[in-house]
Amino acid sequence: GEDVEQSLFLSVREGDSSVINCTYTDSSSTYLYWYKQEPGAGLQLLTYIFSNMDMKQDQRLTVLLNKKDKHLSLRIADTQTGDSAIYFCAEKRDSNYQLIWGAGTKLIIKP
């Protein structure tokens, strides 16, 4: 199975909060990342969290990390139509430059 797992789709109403979840398997992860890919575009780094942190907040974005359960989440408050995109979770392991990627969660905004 994949080392980093995400649900493929999430549908939320405009104005509600979106919570995108990600699980990973390697306890040596040092950094965990969230990337956003808008239609027809490359991937853009949204935010990241060090593995020794539990939470990081940046405006409408909140990242929660449960290292014991190897669970990462991205909460987007007051979801807007411009948040429609695919969100990729990725982990960096201690020994390597390479990131291990989830398959991406497509966030669909309902009016």
Partner 1 sequence: GAGVSQSPSNKVTEKGKDVELRCDPISGHTALYWYRQRLGQGLEFLIYFQGNSAPDKSGLPSDRFSAERTGESVSTLTIQRTQQEDSAVYLCASSDVGNGYTFGSGTRLTVV
Contacts with partner 1, residue ranges (CB under 8 A): 31, 33, 35, 41-45, 48, 88, 90, 92, 97-99, 101-104
Give the CA radius of gyration of the chain: 13
**How far from 91 is each of 11, 25, 64, 97, CA to CA, in Å?**
24, 10, 14, 10
- The nearest distance, CB 101 to partner 1, in angstroms, is 5
- Which one, 45 or 55, has the nearer CB to partner 1? 45
- Which one, 39 or 68, has the nearer CB to partner 1? 39
